[in-house]
Amino acid sequence: MLGILKQLALMNATRKVLKISSKELAEKINQSLQTAARKLKELEDEGLIERMLYKDGQYIVITEKGKDLLYKEYLDYKRIFEGEDAIILKGRVFGGVGEGAYYVSLEGYRKQFIEKLGFDPYPGTLNLKIPKEQMFFRKRLDQEEGITIEGFSTEDRTFGDVKAFKCRIDGMEGAIVIPQRTHYPADVLEVIAPVKLREHLGLEDGDTVEIEVIL
């Protein structure tokens, strides 16, 4: 299915409404007419394309969801051929309200941190305020897939997914965690590590730190 989406994108269906018959597509992908028609229906059902049928033919455009899927595929190939991708973010340390310790300690999250990030996090987060000139790089994290820490439910409440990115701070391995449901503004990041970063790095409120984020 991804191959069909790629072919449509190569025909500019991400930039314009493309007029193409199932027969034409079948010839492009070297498949039968029935297979091409079925694949288009599957793409439509998945919300990856929008398809309009008129008397004069079939019109197709790739949706934002479809573009996102292609972009993720691009990032995978980029990593395969170019190796590890990383960005440098700078942020200013500030004091939180202690919520990080609670969430990091929840067993539903902690187990996944150990399994997917490779370390048992200290029960707390280092809170960083990202300056305006760094927001371009901060926003890129929203576009990247990251590592999904899945949400879970208890008898009392439901906890949402968390997106994580491995990172390094002054040589110390850690991870940026971005709750998918959060009250924090976009210019705030939380960092976890196997140690209490404030003490390990001798940080105080107002200090600026540099983080190498692995994408």
- Residue 84 is predicted with a pLDDT of 62
Domain extent for 185: 84-214
Q: Is 196 annotated as belonging to a binding site?
A: yes
Residue 89, in any domain of the structure: yes
Residue 74, in any domain of the structure: no
Q: What is the number of structural domains in the chain? A: 2
My answer on whether 101 and 177 are in the same domain is yes
The CA–CA distances, whole Å, from 113 to 14, 150, 152, 155 equal: 36, 10, 14, 22
Q: What's the rounded Cα separation, in Å, for the pair 192 and 173?
A: 9
What tens digit of pLDDT does each residue of 77-136 get? 877 777 667 899 999 999 876 788 889 999 999 999 999 999 999 999 999 999 999 998
* Angle of helix 2-10 versus helix 22-29 axis, rounded to 10: 100
Q: Is 190 annotated as belonging to a binding site?
A: yes
Residue 1, in any domain of the structure: yes
Q: How many Cβ atoms sit within 10 Å of the Cβ of residue 19?
A: 13
User: Residue 170 maps to which CATH number?
Assistant: 2.40.30.30
Q: Collapsing DSSP states into helix, strand and coil, what is residue 8?
A: helix
Per-residue tokens: 61? 């455009």
pTM exceeds 0.85 for this model: no
- Residue 83 is predicted with a pLDDT of 63
Residue 150, in any domain of the structure: yes
Q: Is 182 annotated as belonging to a binding site?
A: yes
My answer on whether 156 and 189 are in the same domain is yes
DSSP states of 150-166: --EE-SS-EE--EEEEE
Please tell me the total number of residues recorded for the chain in this structure: 215
My answer on whether 90 and 193 are in the same domain is yes
What tens digit of pLDDT does each residue of 133-158 get? 999 889 889 888 899 999 999 988 99
My answer on whether 105 and 200 are in the same domain is yes
My answer on whether 54 and 126 are in the same domain is no
Q: Is 99 annotated as belonging to a binding site?
A: yes
Residue 79, in any domain of the structure: no
Q: Is 101 annotated as belonging to a binding site?
A: yes
Q: Is 158 annotated as belonging to a binding site?
A: no
User: Residue 12 maps to which CATH number?
Assistant: 1.10.10.10
Q: What's the rounded Cα separation, in Å, for the pair 107 and 112?
A: 8
Residue 112, in any domain of the structure: yes
Q: Is 82 annotated as belonging to a binding site?
A: no
Residue after which a domain boundary falls, among 42, 68, 94: 68
My answer on whether 103 and 191 are in the same domain is yes
